[in-house]
Amino acid sequence: MLDRYFDAPFNDSASLQHQIQERLIQAILDGAVSPVDPLPSSRVFAQRLKVSRNTISIVYERLHQDGFITAKPRRGYFIDENFVREKLDVAPPRHRPGGNTAPDFAAMMPHRFSTQENIEKLPDWRRHPYPMIFGQVARDDISVARWRDCLRRAGTSRHVGTWADDLINSDDPLLLEQIARRVLPQRGFRASPDELLITVGAQNALWMVATLFLAPGKSIHIEDPGYVDARNIFLSQDCEVLPVPIDRNGLKPGPGLAVADMVYVTPGHQSPTNVTMPMERRLALLEAANRHDFLILEDDYEHELNFVGAQHPTLKALDANGRVIHVGSLTKPLFPGIRLGFVAADREVIHELRALRRLMYRHPSALAQRAMALFLSEGHYDAHIRRHRRGMAEKWRVMLRELDRQLPDCEGTMTTGGSGIWLALPENVSAAAVKQAALERGVVVEDGTLFYMREDAPQNRLRLGFGAIDLAKIAPGVAELKAAIDSVRP
Q: What is the pLDDT of residues 431-445, one digit of tens each?
A: 999 999 999 999 999
pLDDT of residue 91: 66
Residue 116 sits at φ, ψ, to 5 deg, of -70, 145
Question: What CATH number should be reported for the domain whose range is 121-137+383-488?
Answer: 3.90.1150.10
Give the highest mean pLDDT range of 86-90, 120-124, 390-394.
390-394
What CATH architecture applies to the domain 3-89? Answer: Orthogonal Bundle (1.10)
Residues 339-351 have pLDDT tens digits of 999 999 999 999 9
Residues 6+ away with beta carbon under 8 Å from 128: 122, 439, 442, 443, 444
Say how many residues make up the chain. 490
Q: How far apart are CA 409 and CA 398, in angstroms?
A: 18
141-379 adopts what CATH topology?
A: Aspartate Aminotransferase; domain 2 (3.40.640)
pLDDT of residue 84: 66
Q: How far apart are CA 453 and CA 228, in angstroms?
A: 9
* Of the candidate ranges 302-316, 323-337, 433-447, 459-473, the one whose mean pLDDT is the lowest: 302-316
Q: How far apart are CA 201 and CA 203, in angstroms?
A: 6
Residue ranges per domain, the chain?
3-89, 121-137+383-488, 141-379
Interval 209-213 mean pLDDT: 98
Q: Return the closest-CA partner of residue 490 out of 460, 463, 464.
A: 460
Residues 16-37 have pLDDT tens digits of 999 999 999 898 888 888 888 8
Interval 276-296 mean pLDDT: 97
